Amino acid sequence: MTTGKIRTSILISGRGSNMMALVEAARAPLYPAEIAAVISNRPEAEGLKWAADQGIPTIALDHKQFATRTAFEAKLHATLMEYRTELICCAGFMRMLTGGFIERWRDRQLNVHPSLLPAFPGLDTHARAVDAGVRIAGCTVHFMRLEMDSGPIVAQAAVPVHSGDTADELAARVLAAEHRIYPMALALVASGRARVVNEK
C-alpha cells in the first residue's frame, strides 16, 4: 500500500536533534513526507538508538570500513535505494560527499546550515558571527550542491544576536530555529510547493 507520501531518508553523524524534529513532524497524518530510514556514518551516533526506539529502520555505515570515499558512497546509495528513498535530508551529517553522489541526488537532497547563507559557510559559524558583530544570525535549509553550503535556498529563519552573546548561547537559539524550519522546508519540497527553477 502506498501512502502518497515522499519517502525520505535522514543522514546523521551524532545525536540527530534535527532528525528528531523531522521524525516528530512526519507523525502528523497530513504531513507530505514519511521517514524511510535513518543512516549514520558513525555507528556510535546517539541518534541511531533514538530512531530505532521510534520503530524507524536504522543503518550504520561506518565510513572507516570503506577503502575509498567512492566505495562508501556506493554503499550509501545502494542502502538509500533499498529503502526506496525519494528525498534525502542531511541532519548533522559530518561527511563530505563527492560531486558524483551530489549530482546523482540533485534537487532531491536537503541540508540545514546554522547561518543565513551565503554568510558564514563552513564551520564555527556561531563564533564567527559573534566575532563579526552581526546583529542577526540564523539558519538555512537548502538543496545540496558540490560547493559546500551552497545551493538553492528553500527556507531561512533569522535569529537575533544579543549583546554579550557567547557562541554557545547563539548556537542554542539558532538550533531551536532549525528545528522549526527544517520540517517546514521538507514539507514544502515533499508537497511540490518548493522546487528548483533556474538554480533558485
User: What is the set of active-site residues?
Assistant: 113
Angle between helices 17-26 and 46-53 (to 10 degrees): 20
Instruction: Measure the CA–CA gap between 91 and 102, rounded to whole angstroms.
Output: 15
Question: 119, 131, 114: which is closest to 171 by C-alpha?
Answer: 114
Q: Considering just the CA atoms, what is the radius of gyration of the chain in Å?
A: 17
**Cβ–Cβ under 8 Å, residues 135 and 142:** no
Question: 127, 112, 117: which is closest to 20 by C-alpha?
Answer: 112
What is the DSSP code (8-state) at residue 113?
A: E
